[in-house]
Structure formats: C-alpha cells, structure tokens
Structure 1
Amino acid sequence: MTGNDPMKLINSIAFRLIVATLIAVSFLITVMSTISYYSQKNLLEQRQQQQLQHAISRLELNLPTAVWNFEQERIVNILKSEQASEHIAFIQFINDKDEVSATAGDNKTEQKISVPLFFVEDGESNSLGQLAIYIDNDSILSVLADLLITSVIEALSLGLLIILITYTLYKALIAKPLLMLTLALENMDRGESNLTQRLQVGNKDEFERVSQGFNRFVEMIQAIVKAFQESVAKTRIQAMQANDDAKESIQLIAAQQQETDQMATAITQMSSSAGEVASRVNQTAESAEQARKDTQAVALILQETVASIEELAQQLKSSEHAINSLDENVKGIVSVMDVINGVAEQTNLLALNAAIEAARAGEHGRGFAVVADEVRGLAQRTQASTLEIKEKIDGLRASTNTAVESTLASFELSATAVDNAKRSEASITGILDATSSISSMSEQIATAVNQQSNVAEELSMSVNQIVSLGYDNTESLNKVSNTIQALLSLSKDLDELAKQFIT
C-alpha cells in the first residue's frame, strides 16, 4: 500500500458515508439507550419506594405493641424480618430516651429514612421513639449495570449490522454505477477526441442526470467544434478572396496615377474662371444687404404693433375672467336666497300649524297663537324681502351677461387683429429671411470662389502628393498580400487541428 492509499480511503464516498452512518446510528442508539436506562431506573426506584412504604406500614402496625409491652425478642425478630428485604440494609430502633434499643443488619448506608413510632391506648397517642431505616441500592445498581452492558452490546451489534447493510447498499447502488460512469469517461478520454461518443443512460437516478448532463455538454462542444471547423473553412476562403482583392487594388492604383495627371490640368482651368465669378457675386451681395436692412426696420415696427394688440387682448381676457367670476358669485347668492325663501315658507307653514293647534287648545293656547302669528308675519316679510333681492340680482345678472358679451366681442376683434398682424409679421419675416439668405449666400459664394482659387493651387500640390501616396499604397498592399499569405497558412494549421476532433 502506497502512502496515498489511506488518503484515498478517507476521501472516498464509501468511507464518508459509513462514518456519517456510524455517527448517526451511534447518536440514535445513545439517545434510545439513555432513555431506556433512565426509564428502568425510575421504575426500579418506584418499586423500591413502594416496598419501603409497605415495610414502614408493617413496622408501624406490629412494632409499637411489642415496644409498649417490652418484648425485646419480638422487637428484634420484627426488625430482622423487615431487614431481610433487598432494599433495606440496616434498621435500628431508638427509644424515646434517644437510646438504641434494637438493630437488624450489618452495614449502614448514606440514605436513611426516619419513622416516628406511637402507641395508641384509650384514645391517647404515646411516643415510643423512632425507627432509622437505611436503604440498600445495590440491587438497583446491579440491574442498571446489567442493563447498561446489554445496551452497549446491542448498540455495537446494531451498529455493525447497519454499517454492513450500508456498505452493501453503497456497493450495489452507488459504487457499481459510479465505476461504470468512470470507465465510460476514461474510454472517451482514450478515444482520440471522438466527440460522437456518449455515456450510456441507465436507471432513473442521479447518475442518469450526470450522464445526461455530460452528454449535453459533449453535444455543445461538438457543435462548437463543428462551428469552428466551418469558421476556419470560411476564413480560408475569405483570405484567398482578400489576396485576390489586394492584387486587383495594386492594378487600380496604377490606373489612378494616370488619371491624376489629367485632373491637374482641369484644376488650372477652374482657377482662371473663379476670379470673374467672384466680382459678380460681390455686387449681388451689396444689393441684398441693403434690402435686408429696409425689411428689418419694417419688421421692428410691426412687432411693436403686435405686442400692443396682444396686451389689449390679455386685458380683455382678464376682464372676461372677472365678469365670469362675478356671475358665478351672483349665482351663489341666488342659491342662498332660494334656501332662505324655502326656510321662510317652511317657517310660515309651521307657524300656521302652530296657530291651528293653539286654536284647538282654546284659552290655554292663546299666548302661543299670538307668537305663531308673529312668526308667520316675520316669515312673510322674509319672503317679500327675498323676492325683492332676487329681482335686483336678476337685473345685475342681465347687466353682467351684457358685459360678458361685449367683452367677448372685443376679445374676438383683438384676436383677429393679432392674427392679421402676425401673418403680416410672418410675411415680412419671410422677406427678411430671404434677403438675409441672399446676402449670406452671396457672401458664401464669394468666399467659396476665393477659396476655390486657393483650393485649386492646393489641389495641384495634393495631386502630386496623391501620386506619391499611390506608390506608398502599392507598397502597403504588397505587405497586406504577404500578411494574407501568412493568414492562409495559419488557417490551414487551424483546419488540421480541428480535424483531430471526430464530429
């Protein structure tokens, strides 16, 4: 056995499973044994207490007569008969003078029970002394020791049996499928990168899920390798196409250099005609600038007019809001007057009913009838006042409506004036923009023509530089062609590497 074998054993699933099972079983057996031990102990102690209580009862019944009659021999015999019990180690009788009169047994224990003795004669209780009973726990300890030994033996036997069963089940349910899975993986590893191999799916358990997961992983790798092989093939095709394009570009650059000389001649002719165009454009720009200034002055006057009309319209709108608010308040007052009128009518009706009831009451209701008449009079005056106020409010509402209509008409007229002014302003603005555009365009054209003349000279210099760059581009394309050749070689190597995988 090598030095790594113990570590392999400790790290194995079987060892960890057996240890875990042993710990669990040991804990369970310990708990059960402890419960059984203390249950048996409590039962034995209860039986001991019952037997001791029976012995005390017999002693309290038989011993007082013998002590009262000074029958020493009988006293000793009674004590010896009770001491013969397995739970009593020693008994002694102490008289009322604290003198030991009789004993039974050899050994005193730490646990003792004291029982007072009395003799009843003619209804009078006479104290005789007390009994000291020393308890013997050896029988209980012996039974508990046997129980503990039995529990340990049973625990060891059961633990070994469970370990054996667990190991057997592990070999059948885990070790065997795991070994098959390991062998299958090793076979795939020795299969020269054959991605078409798959693990065999067996029982419906965790190993099946592992096998399915591995098979899905291999399928994904297989798809990636296939895509990689296709990409390598496409890369080779594109590299070959790029090589052909580079060769064609070299030929095109040579033709471009010939065309560049012809372009230089055309640029010289363009520079000579640019001067005449520039003088014509400057004259047009001066006329357009004067028209723009005149139009701008008219636009400023029209803007002030539009602002004044808009301010007037805003004031009319504010007046409309104020009159509408007044109309709403008047409506609120009318609603309140309607409520007051309703209350007056109800008061009048109630006063009438009160007067009728007072009339029925005769002499006793005369004073109440006078008050009811006063209330009716007050209600009628309230109704009359309410009607007068309502008529005045109706007149106010009519005046308010007339003011609203006049304000609306004025607002519509001001809005029409604003629209007309804005349309005029828009037209003038269009004229101003057009003249500004003409002036700006004229300046731009003049500038462009001047620049064109300058550019023509620069173009002449640039054409010469283009020729020089053409030679540089030719050299660069040759380098690109060499790089493409290297890429073709690399793609060939990648293709050989990808073919190592069987897909």
Structure 2
Amino acid sequence: MRRIVVSMRGLAEGNNAVEIKGQNRGDEVGDMARALDKFRDELVRMQAAEQQKAESKDAELGNVVQQLSERLARLSHGDLTIRIAEEFPEEYEQLRADFNGSIDNLNATVQQVIDAASSIRSGAAEISQASDDLSHRTESQAATLEETAAAIDELTASVKSAAEGARNVEATVRDARQEAENSGEVVQSAVAAMSGIEESSNKISQIISVIDDIAFQTNLLALNAGVEAARAGEAGRGFAVVASEVRALAQRSSDAAMEIKALISDSSRQVGEGVDLVGRAGGALQSIVGQVSRISELVSEIAEGAEQQSTGLLEINTGVTQLDKVTQQNAAMVEEATAAGHLLNTDAGKLSDLVARFQVAGGSGAALAAPSAPAPAAMAPSAHGSDDWDLEASPVPAPAAAAHAADGNAARDLWQDF
C-alpha cells in the first residue's frame, strides 16, 4: 500500500516513468495498482496528445507570423498590394481580415494622395509658368507706363508753356488792338484836319478869285485913266504915268493871283487825294482793328483750350503716375507670387517623388516621376526648408487627401479661368 502511495505521489509530481508495483496481486491492492497503471498510460497518452496539439498550434502561429512579417516587410518598401489571400486558422482569421482592411484603407488613401499630388504638381507647374509670363508682362507694362508717364509729363510741360505763350500772345494782341484803335482815332482826326484844310483852300481860292477880279477891274480903271490922261494932253502926262504904274501893278497882282490860284488848286487837288488816302487808311485801320479783335478772341479761345488741356494733362499725368506706382507694386507682388509658385512647384515635385515610392493596386505611383512640366532643380528651395521630407513623419489621412486633391483641382480651374 505504501508503494502504491509513493507511485501516486510520483505521478502527481509529473513523473510518468514511476514504477507501479503490486499489479500481480489478486487482492484490492492489486486492483488499485492495475488501475493506477491504466491511469498512468492514459495520462501519458493525453500528455502526448497535448504536446502534439501544442506543436500544431505553434506551426500555425509561425505561419501567421511569417505571412505578416513578409507583408510588413513589403509594406515598408511602399508595396500596398499585399493583401493576404490564404485563409488563417479560425482563431487568426479576424487578424487577417483586419490586416486586409487596413491595407485596403491605406491603399485607397495613398491612391488619393497620388492623384492629389499629380493634380497639385500639374497646377503648380501651370501656376509657375503663368506667374513667369505674368511677371514678364507686368515688367513690360511697368516700363511702358513709366515711359508714358515721362512722355505725358513732357507733354504737360509743353502744353503749359504753350498756354502761357498763348496768354502772352493774347496780351500782345490786345495791346495791338488798342494801338490800332488809337491809330484809327488819329486817322479820323487826320481826315478831319485834311477836310478842314480842303475847306480853307476852297475859301482861299475864292478870295484869290475876288483879288483877281479886283486886279482886272483896277487894270480897266488904269486903262481908262490912261485914255483920259492922253486926252488931257500935257496936263495929264503925270496922271498917265501914275495910271500906267497902277495898270502894271494891277497886272502883276493879277498874274500873282493867277499863280496863287493855280498853286491853291493844285494844293486842293493834292489835299483831296490825301483826304481820300487817309480815308482809305482809316478804313483799313478799322478793318485791321476788327481782324485784330477777331484774332484776340481766337487767341483767347486757344489760351483757354490750352489751359484746359494743361489741366487735363496734369490730371492724366497724376493718374498715370498713380497707375505707375500701382503697377510697380503689382510687379513686386507678381515677383513674390512667382517665387511662391516656384516654391509650390518644387514642393509638389518633392511630394510626387515621395508618393511615387508607393505601389498601389491597379497602377504604380512611379508614373508621377515623369511630369508634363519641367521638373525643378534638385537643390531648389521649398516652402518647408531645404531638408528632405520624411515619409514616415507625414502620414495623410484619406479624407484630408481627398480634400487636398479637390483643392488642387479647384485652384487649377481658377488659374485656368484667370
């Protein structure tokens, strides 16, 4: 009985090789020994079965770990076509489903990132090219506006000088008109004076005619006196001498009167011609005064127009100067936008290079390595600095990637409209 107890204690301690004695006995102890031996055999068989089952579980677990390890290694190299098609044991099937679901979500997210990166890169290249073109056009426009402003400034100074000259001419014409009017008055006075001289000459001519008549009558009286003296004989000799002298004096007076009359007639004719010429000069001066007045009005209109043009050109010059300043500011902003466009293009190229590492289902991200626009230089600066981007440090969720793709398409559409 004590030996059976020792054997049972050994089995309890896990010693399946313990020797069970007393099996050949025919009493109750022998029955207990035989029953204990059967129990030990059954325990050994059960332990062998458990060990076999554990080895099978270890093999299944090793297979699962190997499958996951291989696919995680491919995932580390950017391969997203690593779904596990082989079914796992029932207790690991949920793990396979979760892994495939994660890969599907990651594949969809990266695909959206690739599409967004392609759209961003295309839009960035177009923006960069358009910014360059706009920069050149803005620089040309700024230079043209600067030249236009200088030309308008010179034109404004010229028109202002012309306006001042027109005002000076207007004052000169006004003075000339005043002088012409004064000359007209002088001519009118001269005409009146010449008319007075003509009237005086006519009166003198009449007086000379009277003197001529008196000389003629005196001559007749002297002739009669001479005839009477001749009749008187020796007594009238002295009177005849006096009558002869009186007759000679009357004849000289008549001759002088005739000469004076001829001179006065010639003077009257010349005075008449002078009056006519002075009248014509007066009419010409009146016409000149009228023309000068008309010229003065025209010069006044020209001066007013020149002043208005000067004022308008001054306003235009001010506007062009302001437009030139605004254009210069726009040119500076366009330069900044151009620089930003180049930085965006550089960053978009880097993003395309990063997502090109991923291999997704239905295509490869490496297609982004050959963009339609020229790729920027490798050492070009970017908005994120000159350091290389870290792929693992910048995960992008699927909704954010879709939003970025939509924003990139919208920005490209807006730029195309512009």
TM-score relative to the length of structure 2: 0.31
Q: Which has the higher contact order (CA 8 A, sep 6+)?
A: 2
Q: Larger radius of gyration, structure 1 or 2?
A: 2
TM-score relative to the length of structure 1: 0.26
Higher strand residue share: 1
